[in-house]
Structure 1
Amino acid sequence: MTLTPVLSRYWDEAESWSIETYRRHGGYEALHKALYRDPDEIIETVKESGLRGRGGAGFSVGTKWSFIPQNDGAPHYLVVNADESEPGTCKDMPLLLATPHALVEGAIIAAYAIRANHAFVYVRGEVASVIRRLRTAVQEAYDAGLLGRDIQGTGFDLELVVHAGAGAYICGEETALLDSLEGRRGQPRLRPPFPAVAGLYARPTVVNNVESIASVPSIVQRGAQWFRSMGTEKSPGFTLYSLSGHVQRPGQYEAPLGVTLRELLDYAGGVRAGHTLKFWTPGGSSTPILTAEHLDVPLDYEGVGAAGSMLGTKALQIFDDTTCVVRSVLRWTEFYAHESCGKCTPCREGTYWLAGLLRRLEAGDADERDIDTVLDVTDSVVGKSFCALGDGAGSPILSSLQYFRDEYLAHIELGRCPFDPALATVWGRGEAVS
């Protein structure tokens, strides 16, 4: 399978982020086409394309748009989720740095389709360079008459605001994002009502990921069947895979859905020299880990699901045979404990106790009963927390014990972590260190 550069096709050009470069590559032609079509036609085209949300859930984008009640006389809102904070995920920020106008054009088309006159892009506050570049692109669009009042003489008005968040992982959850955007503490809302009914300011709202919205212009320009010519039947199209960790050439690889990790590793130069693949995440740290036996699993929503994990944000973190699984899971668990918003008891207390238990296990200061306790506490968090953060915190723990329970036991038997870079050998590569 070959790569399919669409969003990334001219990232390497000088000033790829400028409106001049974007227009030279056909930018805003899709917008001109969309503004002279009925909004419902745009929604139907996106629905027919099979575009699924690129933020993790994989829900049909066109279907999500169609949930917005039309001609109801109420204001509608479009919110773009650029609060990219899942460990291992690094696709939206490069996209916004390299081609911010792809998002701007997609946002205008999406707002027109759902009949919204106000749109917001919620960006992580830490990425100041991305915020500056996106705000510059938005101003360029205003100056070109592509935003504001009476866009291109069609009578369509749209105000686009770039909002900087305060760096809370929980604000990646769409309802917590909406609370934060309204000026409140970012915490998940009880659903129903869903955002399509009562979202931002209690009005019908669409919340989509950056890559989802940035993919819309090419679909409008080239058609739904062109988009479906890539990927698989149930997971059509192209997407950005983020490869990081122990690979020769980490980065963003734009490929059809359904590509395998083996194929992507060929493009990335393979695992670093002298080492072999041990485990990896298909969609960031909140998805169950997979191992080398899953190298040929199709990286689409159905294929990864059948393998026991989730495609998520397509953040492929690669770990070789020098990595301690227990230490990696501990670091992820500490992250979730720190980022828990504290709204619900299972997540607030459960992640705290899981981090403490895993610290003991990683240090070898535990016994086999502590593994059972970890499983018991994880069971009290997964499926019982207010939002998906609890499920995400439990995923690496449960999957690591499924595939690497013997490594947890090795910590207990040795009384310390068996992976010591100061020693000549590490456990699992020949013999256990003594």
Structure 2
Amino acid sequence: MDLHLSEAAPSTVERDAIDTAFAALAAPAPRRPGSNGSGSNGSGPAADRPTRSVHAGHGARSRRHLLLPVLHAVSDAVGWISEGALNHIAVTLSVPPAEIYGVATFYAMFSVEPRAPRVVHVCDDVACGPYGGEEIIAELERELGPAAESPHLDAAPAGGGEPPSACWVRSPCLGLCERAPAVMHQRAGEPDLSQAPARAVDVLAAARATGAQVADDADRVFADATVSAPQTGPRGTLPGGGPLRLLRRVGVVDPSSLDDYRAHGGYQGLRRAVDLGPTRVIAELKDSSLTGRGGAAFPTGVKWDGVSGAPERPHYLVCNADESEPGTFKDRVLMEGDPFALIEAMTIAGYVTGSATGYLYIRGEYPLATRRLATAIEAARSRGYLGEDVMGEGFAFDIELRRGAGAYICGEETALLESLEGYRGEPRNKPPFPAVSGLFGKPTAINNVETLYNVLEVLNIGGPPFASVGGGRSTGSKLFCLSGAVAKPGVYEVEFGTTLRELLDLAGGLRGEMRTILLGGAAGGFVMPDQLDVVLTLEGARDIGATLGSGVVLVFDTDADLTGTLRRIAAFFRDESCGQCVPCRVGTVRQEEALARLERGAPLGSRETELALLEDLARVMRDASICGLGQTAPAAVTSALSLGLLDAPPALNGNRNGKVPH
């Protein structure tokens, strides 16, 4: 390949980081005779890699998918990705540097300009901003100076001297809503660290820590699992008194111990799956009516059946753990508290769908879950639960852990596939669907974390008993993420059919007087106090014009600034739009601008004109956007408009809420 490189050269640290990462990722894995040739590292034969670029060739097809982890390796080591590093990656992976630059600049956690080695990401989103996030931001601004917008900094101050050691940046939801306010430290050469609930003094201490302080175990921040999952523990039960299913091991097992996991029922599901065989497992899933828990609610058995029966080989499995919806943290709690269960469930999925390789794509903002899953994968592999001959049963399956890098759009399944293949995370047009043409153009099963944990329960009790809970397309149990003005925020497990009122009672009721509830996340809708008896099923939510979505239940009291909240949601979608299609790229910007004008009390024309504009924008984005981001970006705004929740600005209503927009 003819690569056009600049004269910039990588530093020794950058070169070593790239070479080490590439050697570890690209090393050929031994293959069991008769296997499909995908290998445990998922690289597969070169013919399986699609030609996606005018510069493509054998090298580009076989190495391009390593781009994201190699970029992480450089960023982890140095804190940013220099031009010299881009050149060395280009030569190593046979990918043009311009394309690598395009990928690196797509993700919020990467920088291609010099920056401080420590970046403090402070969540100012709907769950953290009003509950301490803004106070932390104010203190960091006093101590560290203004926010680094990108967060890019000059290599040294204009007046000379040492470059800054830390900077801070506003961040969208970090998935720690039950512990608000939340902060994440991205630290070059050191493990990333989350702090929640965070105090400004502790945040500054972590940003400036050195030596032994840095080596402190970050797990201690999350030592008490009952904070995140109040139902868990030896006596944890569902509201009706039955045993927990999805959360039963969280706070009970040692997440680092395979033996402890097995002592609490681990790998019984995989044993049962092997005894049943793929065809009967699919039959059980269809009997269970298990639907996807990521929001789309597609039947899991139908998806697995389609991939399993696809004639083209190899098949792939992808676990979508890129949980980025504001207010959502259920998957994080499962992965941190019960990581081996996800490994087991993925192994079952690989066995049933005929996939020898599974990719676990996890949010870059989940450092603790990432470490625990990496430990679990290595332990499972060393004990024969992953590899060329799983449990001695004659089938191969292994897992590649891939970290995202701060892009909400990569939660959309085809954007996730683009990211895994080493491209910008821009959604594909559908059809074809991933079950037909997915990762590397091959049949691919994609499931989210909560869905896979439910598969273990289906195999534990059987399909028909699972389907007897709830009904219709809403069977089994469901996890909900409660935050905001609720007494005990956290993840709660309830059976489908539980009412919203019962769920709130389970969380200890409300703090203050309820004004409304955002159900389903930033892409969801609002529920009013007279609708609390709605049944929490897909059908029940639809009947009141809402959606369960990702399971968010964000409670607002009467002091909440809802216009400011909606403006923040609009800013989130504007920032996270990949920009591929005009309705989303332009619509999300115009939506935020209109809400900002309403928040300031400075509408163009009249308030009624602005509201009409918001409705027109919503219609265009819903009808014409390529993917679900643009289609649902106006959902919360239109819901608020229909319910009359958009506050008049302080200048017009006497500052009824006593809030100062920020």
Query: Into which bin does the TM-score normalised by the smaller protein fall?
Result: over 0.9
Runs of 4+ in 1 over 3 A off after TM superposition: 415-418
Shifted more, 14-23 versus 85-94: the winner is: 14-23
- Within the alignment, does 1:311 sit opposite 2:551 as a pair? no
- Matched letter for residue 329 of structure 1: L
Cα distance between partner residues in 2 of 1:65 and 1:340: 30
- Matched letter for residue 652 of structure 2: L
Cα distance between partner residues in 2 of 1:17 and 1:285: 33
User: Identity percentage over the alignment?
Assistant: 41
Alignment of 1:308-387 (within 5 A): 308-366=545-603, 367-368=606-607, 369-387=609-627
Whether the 8 Å contact between 1:238 and 1:254 is mirrored in structure 2 is: yes
The equivalent position to 2:419 in structure 1, one of 159, 170, 180, is 180
Cα distance between partner residues in 1 of 2:576 and 2:545: 25
SS in 2 for 1:293: helix
The gaps in structure 2 that reach 5 residues or longer are: 1-238
- Within the alignment, does 1:51 sit opposite 2:284 as a pair? no
Cα distance between partner residues in 2 of 1:134 and 1:184: 24
> Which residue is equivalent to 1:155?
394
> Which residue is equivalent to 1:205?
444
CA-to-aligned-CA distance 1:31-65 (integer Å, 9 cap, x gap): 11212332111111111111110111111111111
> Which residue is equivalent to 2:272?
33
* RMSD between superposed Cα atoms in Å: 1.7
Whether the 8 Å contact between 2:477 and 2:493 is mirrored in structure 1 is: yes
Bigger Rg, which one: 2
Task: Return the offset for 1:294.
Answer: 1.4
The equivalent position to 2:362 in structure 1, one of 119, 123, 126, is 123
> Which residue is equivalent to 1:285?
522
- Matched letter for residue 110 of structure 1: A
Change (3 A) 1:308 1:71: closer
- Within the alignment, does 1:141 sit opposite 2:406 as a pair? no
SS in 2 for 1:155: coil
Task: Return the offset for 1:378.
Answer: 2.1
- Within the alignment, does 1:88 sit opposite 2:333 as a pair? no
SS in 2 for 1:289: strand
Q: Identify the structure with bigger relative contact order (alpha carbons < 8 Å, sequence gap 6+).
A: 1
CA-to-aligned-CA distance 1:279-323 (integer Å, 9 cap, x gap): 112211101222112101111100001110111111111111111
The equivalent position to 2:637 in structure 1, one of 392, 397, 414, is 397
- Matched letter for residue 187 of structure 1: E
Alignment of 1:240-319 (within 5 A): 240-272=479-511, 275-319=512-556
- Within the alignment, does 1:68 sit opposite 2:304 as a pair? no
SS in 2 for 1:198: coil
Change (3 A) 1:416 1:344: farther
- Within the alignment, does 1:419 sit opposite 2:662 as a pair? no
- Matched letter for residue 388 of structure 1: G
SS in 2 for 1:317: strand
The gaps in structure 1 that reach 5 residues or longer are: 423-434
Shifted more, 355-364 versus 7-16: the winner is: 7-16
SS in 2 for 1:161: strand
Cα distance between partner residues in 2 of 1:192 and 1:66: 18
- Matched letter for residue 635 of structure 2: S
Whether the 8 Å contact between 1:363 and 1:416 is mirrored in structure 2 is: no
> Which residue is equivalent to 2:8?
none
- Matched letter for residue 657 of structure 2: F
Cα distance between partner residues in 2 of 1:304 and 1:293: 14
Cα distance between partner residues in 1 of 2:442 and 2:636: 36
CA-to-aligned-CA distance 1:172-222 (integer Å, 9 cap, x gap): 000000000000000000111100100000000011000101121221122
Whether the 8 Å contact between 1:260 and 1:298 is mirrored in structure 2 is: yes
Task: Return the offset for 1:257.
Answer: 1.1
Task: Return the offset for 1:416.
Answer: 7.5
Cα distance between partner residues in 1 of 2:640 and 2:655: 16
- Matched letter for residue 519 of structure 2: P
Task: Return the offset for 1:13.
Answer: 2.4
Task: Return the offset for 1:15.
Answer: 1.8
Change (3 A) 1:162 1:385: same
Cα distance between partner residues in 2 of 1:26 and 1:67: 30
- Matched letter for residue 290 of structure 1: V
Cα distance between partner residues in 2 of 1:27 and 1:173: 30
Cα distance between partner residues in 2 of 1:55 and 1:111: 19
> Which residue is equivalent to 1:425?
none
Cα distance between partner residues in 1 of 2:256 and 2:331: 14
CA-to-aligned-CA distance 1:70-104 (integer Å, 9 cap, x gap): 27251000100000000111100010000011111
Task: Return the offset for 1:16.
Answer: 4.1
SS in 1 for 2:523: coil
- Matched letter for residue 70 of structure 1: G
Whether the 8 Å contact between 1:364 and 1:417 is mirrored in structure 2 is: no
Cα distance between partner residues in 1 of 2:527 and 2:482: 15
Cα distance between partner residues in 1 of 2:308 and 2:474: 27
Shifted more, 95-104 versus 390-399: the winner is: 390-399
Cα distance between partner residues in 2 of 1:144 and 1:359: 56
Number of positions where the alignment pairs a residue of Structure 1 with one of Structure 2: 418
Whether the 8 Å contact between 2:474 and 2:537 is mirrored in structure 1 is: yes
Whether the 8 Å contact between 1:365 and 1:415 is mirrored in structure 2 is: no
TM-score normalised by L of structure 1: 0.93
